[in-house]
Amino acid sequence: GAVVSQHPSWVICKSGTSVKIECRSLDFQATTMFWYRQFPKQSLMLMATSNEGSKATYEQGVEKDKFLINHASLTLSTLTVTSAHPEDSSFYICSVAHPGKLFFGSGTQLSVL
């Protein structure tokens, strides 16, 4: 299956700062990547679909200006949480669309103090 690398694994930041999370598809050229968010003991909620070379498509209720997504190449998508607040603390996971399935990164645990 596709290998997806996500970095960093965890990050702690102060309220008001911005945090960037990287998602790389190591062995597959991904025109589409997805960003999910997961709260403790809850399911994965799709935040946005990242399309290479074009604007991301955000799910209803997800703030575009707060969660900036850039998919500049076929192997890299980034999610930037701008002006983070404690309520943004969560587990963020990216995934790569591969024919017939999605492969996921290892996730990033964000804690905003």
Partner 1 sequence: EDQVTQSPEALRLQEGESSSLNCSYTVSGLRGLFWYRQDPGKGPEFLFTLYSAGEEKEKERLKATLTKKESFLHITAPKPEDSATYLCAVQALENTDKLIFGTGTRLQVFP
Using the contact rule CB under 8 A, the part of the chain among 14-22, 44-52, 61-69, 82-90 near partner 1 is 44-52
- CA 14 to CA 41: how far, in whole Å? 25
Residue 74 backbone class (left: φ over 0; alpha: ψ -120 to 50; beta: rest):
alpha
Taking the CB of residue 28, how many other CB atoms lie within 10 A of it? Answer: 16
Q: How far is the CB of 27 from partner 1 (least distance, A)?
A: 15
Using the contact rule CB under 8 A, the part of the chain among 14-22, 66-74, 78-86, 102-110 near partner 1 is 102-110
Q: How far is the CB of 85 from partner 1 (least distance, A)?
A: 22
Q: Which is nearer to partner 1, 82 or 104 (CB)?
A: 104
**Nearest partner of 94 among 26, 15, 12, 17, judged by Cα:** 26
Kindly state whether residue 58 participates in binding partner 1, applying the rule CB under 8 A. no
Contact mark string toward partner 1, 23..42, x via CB under 8 A: ---------x-x------xx
Q: Which is nearer to partner 1, 34 or 67 (CB)?
A: 34
Residue 107 backbone class (left: φ over 0; alpha: ψ -120 to 50; beta: rest):
left
